[in-house]
Amino acid sequence: MTEKDKFAALIVDDDEAFRTRLLRAFETRGWEAHGAATGREALIRAREAGPDLAIVDLRMPGESGLDVIKSLREQDATVSIIVLTGYGSIATALEAVRCGADHYLSKPVDVDQILATYEAVRDSAFGDAPPPTTVPSLARVEWEHIQRVLTDCGGNVSQAAKLLGLHRRSLQRKLLKYPPRT
């Protein structure tokens, strides 16, 4: 396979260790991999490389991942964009998709999950997407719903508890827990 035949990936993440690990993993799987720590650097690398896939961290210092998604989409409408974040919720996933992302994954994530998601995104673009093989657990859906309501209430726990029909202390206890795995 020549350099021109390789798929290209752009990894945009301010966490250098994570970005480097993903770069190596993509390269070992035969991809041409490029990394960027900032939104500005990502746009420069995207212009140079013309990636097939862009993996964008949602929270970065300075320009947010949402801004990077919009800019990448304006620059190249054909690139597949997958958003990664350690702070996953339905509200942020919807916002990322509105900005132009094709899919959304919560960290921790490995390259095999990213590549499976990329394949699903590509297949759905051609109209033959397979049905989902997994669904989130009820606990995960509840946690995401609580996060969405809390976001809609501007972080006001008392108001969110009232809307959810919970006592404020009960909601605070739920918020102290880590998000359930899928």
Q: How many CB atoms lie within 10 A of CB 27?
A: 13
Query: What is the value of pTM for the model shown?
Result: 0.65
Going by pLDDT thresholds of 50, 70 and 90, the confidence category of residue 4 is low
**The predicted structure's pLDDT at residue 156:** 93
What are the tokens at 31? 């991809």
What residue ranges in 3-127 does DSSP mark as E strands? 8-12, 32-36, 53-57, 80-85, 103-106
3-state secondary structure of 54: strand
**The predicted structure's pLDDT at residue 128:** 52
Chain position carrying tokens 């998601």: 117
In the predicted structure, residue 64 carries a pLDDT above the cut 70 = yes
3-state secondary structure of 104: strand
What residue ranges in 27-125 does DSSP mark as E strands? 32-36, 53-57, 80-85, 103-106
- End-to-end Cα distance, the chain: 37
Write out pLDDT tens, residues 91-123.
777 788 888 888 888 777 888 888 888 888 887
